[in-house]
Amino acid sequence: MKKNPETKDKSPKLVERLKGRVKSKAWIARGTPKEKEERIGSNTEEFKRADTQLQIEIEKRKWAEEELKKAREELERRVKERTAELVKTQEQLSKAVRILSVHKRQLRSMASHHTISEERERRKLAVYLHDNICQSLGVAKMKLDALRESGSPSDLIGSVDEVTQIIKSTIQDVRSVMVDLSPPVLHELGFEAALEWLAEQFHEQNGIPCGYENDQHPKPLDDDVRILLFQSVRELLINIIKHAQASKARITVLRKDDNIHVVVEDNGVGFKPSQYGSPMVVASGFGFFSIRERLSSIGGNMVIKSWKGKGSRVTLAAPLKRS
């Protein structure tokens, strides 16, 4: 706060001057009447000026005290505001730490779940190859061995037909595994055609109608985005089969500005938001949390809406390929 140049305390000097005038009473009394009157008048003026100056000094002191009070109140107000800001910042930091802790636990859980799921899928593939492909090839080999030892023309035609059928069935099984691992339609016909095929397969294999809609706007995608979205949609459909108890589903593909939106919805039992990470809504491979994290890594996001007893809608968004 700037000091008023007029606030310098002059009161002591004024008091001393007044004392000097009071002491001069005796001297005034010894003069002539005219001199007494002049001296009294002079001192009266001095008293008036001194009183006025004293009042000014008092007002200046009051003003200074008021300014000091205002400055003190302003300082206290700023201290309170700053303290409140610090408390709020501390609360925000504490909240961020808690969220980060939860996020780390979820990541650890996701990594563990992914490892277990990966091993489960490998085991599933190994069992399938053993129980179907290997056994079919083994039977075909035995038939050929028997045919070689028989040499009978009557047995030849029937055995060849049987072996041919086994080989055809085995080829079909191998193709089925290949499609599950990496659908050729995704790479040959494109993402949108692959989703339409996925909807048809969902209906054929599970008996649940799955509609497909496309706004027909061009949606160029990078390879990693196309693969991730396809895998995510497939996992969401698996989730519908396992948990939704739905009688129908739908896949909708839209372009919104520079993003692609894929909406997967059903009319099943739905779930509460608090159950997003529960086993009830975690699919065999990804789970909602994993899908969200993977989309986030490519600049996308996922929005989940669900209504208890009325179904769910999951919207996947990802950036389009830059030209």
Same domain, 169 and 197: no
Do 188 and 254 lie in one domain? The reply is: yes
In terms of domains, do 218 and 294 share one? Answer: yes
Q: In the prediction, which pLDDT does 219 show?
A: 95
96 located within any domain: no
Q: Domain check: are 144 and 224 in the same one?
A: no
Q: Would you say residue 94 lies in a domain? A: no
Same domain (yes/no): 73, 125? no
pLDDT per residue as tens, the chain (323 positions): 444 444 445 556 655 665 555 555 544 445 555 555 555 566 677 777 877 888 888 888 899 999 999 999 999 999 999 999 999 999 999 998 888 888 777 776 666 666 566 667 777 777 777 777 777 877 877 877 777 676 666 666 677 777 778 888 887 777 777 777 777 888 888 999 999 999 999 999 999 999 999 999 999 999 889 988 998 999 899 989 988 899 999 999 999 999 999 999 999 998 765 555 444 444 434 468 778 888 888 889 999 998 888 899 999 999 999 87
User: Are residues 19 and 144 located together in one domain of the fold?
Assistant: no
> Same structural domain for residues 58 and 147?
no
Pair (78, 135) in one structural domain: no
Same domain, 72 and 141: no
Evaluate whether residue 280 is within a structural domain. Answer: yes
Whichever domain contains 199, its CATH number is 3.30.565.10
Looking at the fold, whether 163 and 213 belong to one and the same domain comes out as no
pTM above 0.85, yes or no: no
| Final residue in a domain of this structure, among 82, 100, 134 | 82
Largest CA distance in the chain: 174
Domain boundary among 180, 196, 212: 180
Domain-embedded: residue 105:
no
- Domain containing 51 equals 5-82
Residue 107: inside a domain, yes or no? no
Question: Is the Cβ–Cβ distance between 155 and 175 less than 8 Å?
Answer: no
In a domain, 39, yes or no: yes
Please tell me whether residues 187 and 303 are part of one structural domain.
yes
- Is residue 49 domain-resident? yes
Residue 99 belongs to some domain of the structure: no
Tally of structural domains, the chain: 3
Q: Are residues 157 and 212 in the same domain?
A: no
